[in-house]
Every structure is written in structure tokens, then in C-alpha cells.
Chain A
Amino acid sequence: MSTAVTSLPAVMALVFARECRLAFRRWSQLAQPVVFFLMVTTLFPLALSPEPALLRSIGPGVVWVAAVLASLLALESLFKTDWDDGTLEQWALSDQPLAMLLLAKVAAHWCLSGVPLALCAPVVGYALGLPMSALGTLMGALALGSAVLSLLGAVGAALTLGSRRGSVLLALMVLPLAMPVLIFGARATDLAMNGDAPDAGLWLLAAGLIAAISLVPLALGAAVRVSFE
């Protein structure tokens, strides 16, 4: 065994690369959350009215609600295939800490689902009439927020592994926990839109992300181990 491969960062990089490779082989699955995000945001002008002033005032909220729902949708199958074919069990048996391997997996998932959402957000925001000056904040806040959502949602997805799962169950568990992210993110966007400094919301999101990165892997490891029993 060469130490170069078995060091923890190297293994985490391998997991990350594996996740990306698998995801790019299934393009449609990668694109679905983004398409869902675009569709949901289209519903609001149709349901309310195409009046720019109204759309502008609800814009930040619409983008955030749609993004939260889209990232939940993307999370549902996060561990499913790896759990079915025993990959997760092998990870748990390996001499690497399971929590860190799962963290690498979630990080890859964020790059493949959260980042595309953040990249699409300015387009959606522009269509809803948000001013150009707020689009940068929207993108940054969504990138931070979707990372927290990926971590929280991963715990939920891991907890449903051994259960009679339903997609509603995941939403029931994760949505209450995700509400602070929604509040901080939407408020930061709202403040930027009105020309105020959005720093507070962004810092709070970043603080939440740090807390989630340090605590969530522990819960993830425990949750995945429960599913083996």
C-alpha cells in the first residue's frame, strides 16, 4: 500500500472525483434540479401577475424558495445507489473515517447541484426584475446557502435510507432545519436589492456553513451507520 493514496486528503479527492465522474455519466439527473428551479420560478409570474413592481418585490423570496425545493429534490437520491450496491458499507469498513468520506461526497454533490443553481440564479433574478446590483449578492448567498442545504439535507437523506421512504418525509425533516438558511439568504438578497449592505446575511450564512461543515459529518456518519443495522 502506498501512503500517497491512503492518506485521508487523497482518499477524499478520489471520492470527490468518483462522484463527479458518475454524475457526468448521467447528465439528465444532473440537469433536472436546475430545470425544476427554472420551472418553479416561472410559475410565480403566471400565478400572480406579470407586473414588474410586484415581481420585483417578491423576487428574492421566489428565487430562494425555488432553490430550497430544488436542492431538496436533488438530495433525494444522494445515497440511494451507493447504499443499494454496498459502496457505503465498504466505506464504513475501510480504515478511513466514514464521516470525512461522506463530507467529500456531499462536497461533490454541492458542486454538481448547488453551484449550477447559483449560476442560474442571476438569470432568474433578472427575469423577475431584480436590479443588476443585487445579482452578485444573490449568487453569492445562494452558493453559500446551497452548501448548507446540501449538508443538512444529506443528513435527512441518510436517515431515510433504512426506512419506508417517501419524498415527503425528507422534506418534513429537512425544511424546518433549513429555515434559517432561507431567512438569511433571502434577507441578504432583499437588502442588496434595496441598496443596503447585505453583509450581515452573508456573514451569517458563512457562519452557518462553518458550523455545518464541522458538525454535520458526525451526524452523517452516525446516520449512515444506523442504516446498516
Chain B
Amino acid sequence: MTRLTWFYRLASPPTSYATAGRLLPWFAVPAFLLLAVGLYGGLVLAPKDYQQGDAFRIIYVHAPSAWLSLLGYSVLGVSAGIGLIWRMKLAHALAAAVAPIGASFTFLCLVTGALWGRPMWGAYWAWDARLTSELILLFMYLGYLALRSSYDDLQRADRASAVLALVGLVNVPIIHFSVNWWNSLHQGSTVLRAGGPAMPAAMLIPLLESFAGFTLLFAAIACIRLQAEILNRERRPTWWMDSAIKGVPHD
């Protein structure tokens, strides 16, 4: 039990607010550096693809957002589970903070996928397995946000939406499998990328940099949103006034 003291302390609003604030620069600064280097390397320095030309460069935004859309739902589901099981308010606040970010990256992934599809498939949209799964994931985020906003009472909103997030988390792999199955029966094969040739380093390294950069950016935005979420939930207590007005550290 004593070993978990730091965990319980972290869960108290003042500590978690301060921790999120302290972590923020550690996420934000490397995020902007990595994104600058990675995107410059990807969008300018990397050679053209012999088949796709410059159009392939959208992968430097598209692939990281696809990864973050899934990461976002995992964080959402896991923190919802923690909040539901241990009745931990911080976990619910984190779930509420992360959901819109995940939804935004899912949307970004769909938009960049559509822009990439125009030169590749000749159409903005094709019922490709990956795009369809991503669309369903966006619907799941929207359902979650809709349920959350339909409650006036914050505690109920937390717990009800947590149940939905957990059901959704169990469902994500099933949906992914079913969409792949559906697609494999309909189309001969997916058009591109599946088991494609290994990327040359000049393309791969910027991609890894932008993966890391976008992930850190996600974490940084999550910190900011978590702070806002905590303030919104703790409107009465005055600890944050102390720290804001007098600059008193509080932990």
C-alpha cells in the first residue's frame, strides 16, 4: 500500500495539475523540434517516390495521425477503465481531455487519406479497409462525445461514458477484423502499401521523426487539456488561485 502513495498523491487535483504543467515543456519542446526536422526532411529533403512522386509525402502526416487515432482510443479506454474500477477522478479527467484530441487526429487521418487518394485512386474516397476502419473509429469517438455531452452531471457523464469507452475498446479489434474480412471478399487486394518495399533511409528517418514528434505533440496537448479539465472540475477549491496569484508552489 505504501508503495502506491505517489500514485494516490498524483491523483489529487493540485498535484496532477502541477505535474501536467511540469511535464508540458518536456513534451512540447522536443515535439516542435522533431516535427520541424521530420517535416522538413520529409516534405523537402526526402527523394520523390518513383511511383507516387510527391504525393507520397502526405504519409508524414497521415501515418502518424492514424497511429495517434488508435493510441488516443487506447488511452481513452484504459483511463476510463481505471476511473471506473478505482473511482479515480483524474483518470476520468484524462479520458475527457484525450477524447477530442483522438477524434481530431482521426479526422486528420481521414482528410489526409482522402487527399492522398485523389492522385492515387483518382477519387477522394474509396472503400478501402483502412479508411473504412478509420471512419468507424471516428464514429465511435463521436458517439462517445455525444454521450458525454448529453449528461449535465459530470460524475454521471464520466461513469456512463467510461462504460461506453470500455465496450468500444473491446470492439476496436473486432471492427478492424470484420472490415478487413469484408474488404478482402469485395476487392481483390488493397491497392498499395501492404508489404511494400523497404523504405530508403532518407524517407524512413523523417517518418520516424514525425511519428515521435506528433506523439509528443499529442502528449503536450493532452497536458494542456488535462490542466483545463482539472480547473473546470475544481471550480471551488482555491489551491489554484494561490499558485496563480502568488506563484506559491503547491506540492
* Residues of A that sit less than 8 Å from B by CB: 152, 155-156, 159-160, 162-166, 169, 172-177, 179-180, 183-184, 187, 204, 208, 211, 215-216, 219, 222-223, 226-227, 229
Contacts and interface: CB of A to CB of B under 8 A. Distances in A.
Give chain B's interface secondary structure class. helix
B30 interface: no
Interface in B135-163: 136, 139-140, 142-144, 146-147, 150-153, 155-156, 159-161, 163
Nearest to B142: A172
Nearest to B171: A177
Given A172-B142, A215-B170, A179 B178 contact: yes
Given A156-B164, A177-B168, A226-B159, 15 more contacts: A155-B167, A159-B147, A159-B164, A160-B150, A163-B160, A166-B150, A169-B146, A172-B142, A172-B147, A173-B147, A176-B168, A177-B175, A183-B179, A216-B167, A229-B159
16 contacts: A155-B167, A159-B161, A164-B150, A164-B152, A165-B150, A169-B147, A172-B139, A175-B143, A176-B143, A177-B140, A177-B171, A180-B177, A204-B178, A223-B163, A227-B160, A229-B153
Given A165-B150, A180-B174, A180-B175, A173 B156 contact: no
Contact of B150 (A169, A176, A179, A222): A169
A107 to B, nearest CB: 19
B143 A173 contact: yes
A162 B168 contact: no
B185 interface: yes
Interface residues of B, number: 33
Contacts, number: 96
Contacts of B146: 169, 172-173
A155 B153 CA distance: 19
Which of A172, A204, A229 counts the most chain B CB atoms within 10 A? A172
Given A155-B167, A159-B164, A163-B151, A208 B174 contact: yes
Nearest to B152: A164
Contacts of A229: 153, 155-156, 159
Contacts of A160: 147, 150
Interface in B41-93: 84
A219 B167 contact: yes
Contacts of B150: 160, 163-166, 169
Interface centre among A160, A165, A208, A226 (most CB of B within 10 A): A226
A226 B160 contact: yes
Contacts of A204: 178, 181
Contacts of B153: 162, 229
Nearest to A164: B150
B57 to A, nearest CB: 31
Nearest to B150: A163
